[in-house]
Amino acid sequence: MIDTSSDPAVAMRGITKRFPGVLANDHIDFEVQAGEIHALLGENGAGKSTLMNILTGLYRADEGEIALHGRRVDIRSPRDAIALGIGMVHQHFMVVEPLTVAENIILGLNKPRFALNMKRAEEEIAALSQRYGLRVDPHAYIWQLSVGEQQRVEILKMLYRGADILILDEPTAVLTPQEAGELGRTLRHMAAEGKAVIFITHKLDEVAEFSDRVTVLRRGRVVATLPTAETTRSDLARLMVGREVLFRLEKEAVEPGETVLDVQGLRALGDKGLPALQGVSFQVRAGEILGIAGVAGNGQRELAEVLTGLRKASAGRVLVGGRDITNRSPRVVIDEGVAHVPGDRLGMGLVPDLAVSDNLILKSYRQPPFCGGFFLHRDSINEHADNLIAAYDIATPSPATPVKLLSGGNLQKCILAREITTGRGLLVAVHPTRGLDVGATEAVRRTLLEQRAAGMAILLISEDLDELLAISDRLAVIYEGRIMGVVDAASADLEEIGLMMAGTEVSTSNPKP
């Protein structure tokens, strides 16, 4: 229940934060009550994460003040924020991959100081994960976990520290619809306990389902704060981007061409040495989008890695344009024209500290006009970057800006621009719109449909079933490393897809490609 009888749990007044060439927060006023779930909306780059990073001590505001429960505070570091009961789950995970789940969760705690009882900590973490429906093995190493499981570790870390002001930055971006629903119930339970919950999301349906109030940011300013019950999905989208947003794009009819990708009986092991792919077979044709649907952790990541040369197959074949690329190196796969949009933008898709211009030539820097002998031709690189920045509407202060300073939507545009210009016929896209706002999502989906119309074969791996149904031509459902069936997206039956996602094989729904 929202506590309106006392001072707000969080009151941020006149918060201003500047970065070189960017005014990230422009005199923002923001309040959250105890017992409230408050959604924070805005396009990528609107200033949401910056505002929350100030609240958690990662950044210092240039102007403004913060009060917690009516008491003005000076938050100079994340340690100060933790001591004040503030916890944040970041969109880009703050985990140490060589350590276990339990080690990551207790890392940095002051107690116990001398006698660490690891078994007790693991039991507490297991109980906490069970209580909140965030199941993860406390003994597993972070590098063995999927992106979704790593997100659960971050949420558990916050819960383990007992924070009463909870900030979640895109927490459902890596969760299935069922897991997102469970998380929503968890957040409602937290709010009922009197905790203040700040929920940063781009999913407008979740705003209506989970939150009590919503604040919308645009270009670093607050444009509206209102009760969730008094607004609509379309109104929120318009407030976010300043224009009407198309939630469903027109998909023009395209006659598929020859088979570009032919996967035959593919088998592979996961990071833990267990079977991840068990006889996967399918085909993707030119001018077609084949969507791969399934609950997270059923072999999607391993499939993408085998197809792009990042993981060895133990059996089966991968043919691209009739050429066998099974177990060839990533460089050979690239030279064969396979483009790859990975699920982890900053960890795999880009080099964070390199400039935008350098990231745009990561797959072609060995070739003219960018390279001559042992030297790079900077003028050609910059010209190429300027062309792609304009063509893909990448918002960046300059081509020399480190790519890590860009918003999520612009990071994805950089990857798409590079992959489409270097690919020749096949694009493997993994969660291409995960964590993006409605405007950026619309742009990415439109780009994929344009490439489909241009004759590219696209394998789209996504956990967003609405997205798969909206832009795919056919849909293959994967469960425990097996294809349960392939259906036509236009006439797909949701109940049938749900059965396949739960492990029921529907052989009659497998149309010929």
pLDDT for res 155? 82
Give tens-digit pLDDT for 257-266.
Answer: 999 999 999 9
- What domain count does the chain have? 2
* In a shared domain, residues 73 and 201: yes
Residue with tokens 């210009």: 421
DSSP states of 313-334: -SEEEEEETTEE-TT--HHHHH
In terms of domains, do 240 and 360 share one? Answer: no
**250 lies in a domain?**
no
d(CA 455, CA 263): 19
Q: Does any domain span residue 21?
A: yes
Residue 275: inside a domain: no
Q: Is residue 274 part of a domain?
A: no
Closest listed residue to residue 155, CA positions, set 119, 178, 180, 177: 180
pLDDT tens digits along 11-70: 999 999 998 878 999 999 999 999 999 999 887 778 888 999 999 999 999 999 999 999
Residue 28 has a pLDDT of 96
Q: Terminal CA-to-CA distance of the chain, rounded, Å?
A: 54
Tell me, yes or no, whether 217 and 352 share the same domain.
Answer: no
Cβ-count burial of 256 within 10 angstroms (0-12 exposed, 13-18 middle, 19+ buried)?
Answer: buried
Q: Which residue's structure tokens are 């909140």?
A: 132
Q: What pLDDT, on a 0 to 100 scale, did the predictor assign at position 238?
A: 83
Same domain for 221 and 365, yes or no, is: no
Residue 499 is assigned to a structural domain of this protein = no
Residues 219 and 367 placed together within one structural domain of the fold: no
pLDDT of residue 291: 96
Listed in order, strand segments (DSSP E) in 20-70 are 22-32, 37-42, 63-68
- Whether 17 is covered by a domain: the verdict is yes
Cβ contacts of residue 229 below 8 Å, gap of 6+? none
β-pairing, 221-227 with 213-218? antiparallel
**Which stretches in the chain have pLDDT values below 50?**
508-510, 512
The residue out of 402, 422, 442 marking a domain boundary is: 422
Burial of 253 (0-12, 13-18, 19+ CB in 10 A): exposed
pLDDT at 508: 46
Boundaries of domain holding 360: 345-422
231 and 358: one domain?
A: no
Confidence (pLDDT) at 272: 84
Domain boundary among the residues 422, 444, 472 is at 422
Query: Is residue 149 domain-resident?
Result: no
Q: Helices 233-241 & 438-453, crossing angle to 10 degrees?
A: 90
> Which residue, 377, 393, 422, sits at the end of a domain?
422
CATH assignment at residue 215: 3.40.50.300
For 138-227, where are the E strands, in sequence order?
165-169, 196-200, 213-218, 221-227
Q: 42 in a domain, yes or no? A: yes
Helical ranges in 353-437 per DSSP H: 356-359, 378-391, 408-422
Give pLDDT, residue 173. Answer: 62
Q: Fill in the DSSP letter of residue 162.
A: T
Helix axis angle for 408-422 and 378-391, nearest 10°, is 110
Distance of CA 130 to the CA centre of its chain: 24
